[in-house]
Amino acid sequence: MFEFPMIYKKFIRPLLFLFKPEFVHNFVICMANILPLRKKSYVSDEIDGKNFSFKLGYLNFKNRLGLAAGMDKDAKAIKLWNKLGFSHVEVGTVTPMPQSGNPKPRLFRLVKDEAIINRMGFNNQGPEKVRLNILRAKKKTHNGIIVGVNIGKNMNTPVKNASEDYQKCMEILYDSADYFSLNVSSPNTEGLRDLQSEKYLDELLAKINAKNSELSLKYKIPRRIIFLKVAPDLLNEEIEFIFNTAVKNEIDGIIATNTTIRRENIVCNINEEGGLSGKPLKKLSNEILIKFSVLNSENKLTLIACGGVFDKNNFKEKIKLGAELVQIYTGFVYEGPGIIKKILQ
């Protein structure tokens, strides 16, 4: 009769949207630890006898859908993401020192556009805390979900010293992260996006590459898989430079994309600074994905798509455009947890 996605949109979402977005966000993360979850996953790994898994080095993704960075910054609800059926969750962004982020309000819904603007500014409890949360959750989920850690720089670290922050995060989290994602694309930390430029990127990635080898020897585990998360506001020559620099420095993949600073295709009259995500981002992030796909004709990198996925068609489109994995954030907020089953089955 009533399907859960419909119940969410008709009853639960209007109720949640009565409250401030950040309050609801914190409430949901908190409830994830209190509410009893059923034993079995809400989504089966096989669909009509077919298995949509994806292998990348030492990682086996049970399906192609993951939760994007920013939803579970401190790795507090991994058990829930596992039960809901995601193959992977990207926790973070984590910075070497805990920080409280930008002043509130810093999260805004654009309901008519099915979009969000955020300028959270990397609020997080720091890598030591996140590491413990991941290790604890991994025991409980029997490694059923891949946990990537998205890392960045502290607000008051000068851009020229940013590589030290990324390396510190790697050092602390190396034995707990299944992969790392280098966030050089959030618009809410001053200067962060400059790390995508010729002035900084090559040096940053070379240092990360060397640190990866060093820590792999120290911990006697395979070199961690590293993704680079890019902005949707890049020019063609910047995309080509990022692609070549990533390949040169043995980066494994590109996550396209983070939020945009542009304000195209929106009807809501909201004049807030920050990154825009959700439906209005889809076209732009798909255009960036296509450009990386064209450069990636020899499959040197794995492409992970992110931006504006709200249903199965959006998901399939990203796969068709060359993505091996797809991540969602805003679609989860507007469609509810039923979106995972709708996409995967």
Ligand X SMILES: Cc1cc2nc3c(=O)[nH]c(=O)nc-3n(C[C@H](O)[C@H](O)[C@H](O)COP(=O)(O)O)c2cc1C
The count of chain residues that interact with ligand X, using the rule CB under 6 A, is 28
Residue list 30-59, contact with ligand X (CB under 6 A): none
Which spans in the chain are helix H?
A: 4-7, 13-16, 21-34, 78-84, 127-141, 162-173, 201-219, 236-248, 282-295, 312-320, 330-335, 338-344
Q: Which two tokens stand for residue 174?
A: 């190396």
Its sign, for the CA torsion 300, 306, 308, 310, is positive
Q: Closest by alpha carbon to 267, among 119, 106, 114?
A: 114
Q: Is 68 in the site for ligand X (CB under 6 A)?
A: yes
Binding mask 292-321 for ligand X (x = CB under 6 A): --------------xxxx------------
Cβ proximity to ligand X: between 67 and 215 the closer is: 67
**Residue whose pair of structure tokens reads 């984590």 in the numeric block:** 94
Binding mask 218-257 for ligand X (x = CB under 6 A): -----------x----------------------------
Q: Is 69 in the site for ligand X (CB under 6 A)?
A: yes
**Residue whose pair of structure tokens reads 């949360």 in the numeric block:** 133
Please identify which residue in 137, 239, 328, 343 interacts with ligand X, judged by CB under 6 A: 328
**Residue whose pair of structure tokens reads 């609020």 in the numeric block:** 123
Cβ proximity to ligand X: between 61 and 335 the closer is: 335
Close Cβ partners of 12 (under 8 Å, ≥ 6 residues apart): 336
Cβ proximity to ligand X: between 176 and 286 the closer is: 286
Shortest Å distance, C-beta 225 to ligand X = 16
Give the C-alpha separation, 203 to 225, whole Å.
18
Residue 119, CA distances (Å) to 14, 258, 260 in order = 23, 12, 11
How many CA atoms does the CB half-sphere of 327 hold within 13 Å? Answer: 28
Give the C-alpha separation, 202 to 193, whole Å.
14
Q: Is 70 in the site for ligand X (CB under 6 A)?
A: yes
Shortest Å distance, C-beta 234 to ligand X = 14
Shortest Å distance, C-beta 7 to ligand X = 22
Shortest Å distance, C-beta 318 to ligand X = 10
Shortest Å distance, C-beta 46 to ligand X = 26
Tell me if residue 186 is catalytic. yes
Bond preceding residue 105 cis, omega within 30 of 0: yes
Shortest Å distance, C-beta 299 to ligand X = 23
Cβ proximity to ligand X: between 217 and 267 the closer is: 267
Query: Residue number with the shortest CB distance to ligand X?
Result: 70
Catalytic residue among 176, 185, 186, 293: 186
Binding mask 87-126 for ligand X (x = CB under 6 A): -----xx-------------x--------x-x-x-x----
Residue list 265-294, contact with ligand X (CB under 6 A): 277-278, 281
Q: Helix %, strand %, coil % for the chain, to 5? A: 40, 20, 40
Close Cβ partners of 19 (under 8 Å, ≥ 6 residues apart): 27
Shortest Å distance, C-beta 229 to ligand X = 5
User: Which positions lie near ligand X, rule CB under 6 A?
Assistant: 68-70, 73, 92-93, 107, 116, 118, 120, 122, 150, 183, 186, 229, 258-259, 277-278, 281, 306-309, 328-331
Which residues are marked as active site? Answer: 186
